[in-house]
C-alpha cells in the first residue's frame, strides 16, 4: 500500500479549506494550519508532519514559501498566480508552492494529481 500524500496549507488569512477539499477529493490528506499568518508556520508544520508538499497563500505569494525554504531547505517556487504554474512547479520537483490568494477546490485537486504524476 502506498503512503498517503500529505499536503500542508498555510494561508495568511487563515483560509485554505476549499483547497483542502480538493486535495482530499484527489486522494491526499490535507492539513490546514489554523489562524492568521498561518503561511509563516508552513515550514514548521511540514517538518512536523513529514509532509510531501506545502502550499502557502498570501498577497504576494512569497512569504511563507520563502520562510519554509530558508528554514528547512525545501525546494520552493513562489509568486505563483495560476494552477498551471503550480503544476509546472511540482513537475520541476518543488516541495513548497507560494501562491497569491487562491482558495479554490480545483487548485488542491490538480496539484495533488500533479504530485502523484511527477513526484510519487
Q: What are the extents of the domains in the chain?
A: 6-118
The alpha helices in 6-104, defined as continuous H runs, are: 17-25, 42-49, 63-72, 83-91
Fold designation for 6-118: Ribose 5-phosphate Isomerase B; Chain: A, (3.40.1400)
Q: What is the pLDDT of residue 60?
A: 86
Residue 97: helix, strand or coil by DSSP?
A: strand
**Each residue's pLDDT expressed in tens, for the chain with a length of 120 residues:** 678 999 999 999 999 999 999 999 999 999 999 999 999 999 999 999 999 999 999 988 889 999 999 999 999 999 999 999 999 999 999 999 999 999 999 999 999 999 999 998
Q: What is the pLDDT of residue 1?
A: 64
> Whole-model pTM?
0.96
Amino acid at each position: 500500500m502506498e503512503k498517503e500524500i500529505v499536503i500542508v496549507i498555510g494561508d495568511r488569512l487563515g483560509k485554505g479549506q476549499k483547497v483542502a477539499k480538493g486535495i482530499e477529493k484527489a486522494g491526499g490528506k490535507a492539513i490546514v494550519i489554523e489562524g492568521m499568518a498561518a503561511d509563516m508556520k508552513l515550514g514548521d508544520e511540514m517538518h512536523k508532519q513529514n509532509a510531501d508538499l506545502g502550499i502557502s497563500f498570501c498577497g504576494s505569494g512569497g512569504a511563507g514559501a520563502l520562510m519554509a525554504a530558508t528554514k528547512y531547505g525545501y525546494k520552493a517556487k513562489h509568486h505563483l498566480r495560476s494552477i498551471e504554474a503550480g503544476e509546472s512547479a511540482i513537475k520541476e520537483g518543488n516541495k513548497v508552492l507560494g501562491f497569491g490568494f487562491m482558495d479554490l477546490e480545483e487548485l488542491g485537486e490538480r496539484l495533488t494529481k500533479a504530485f502523484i504524476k511527477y513526484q510519487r
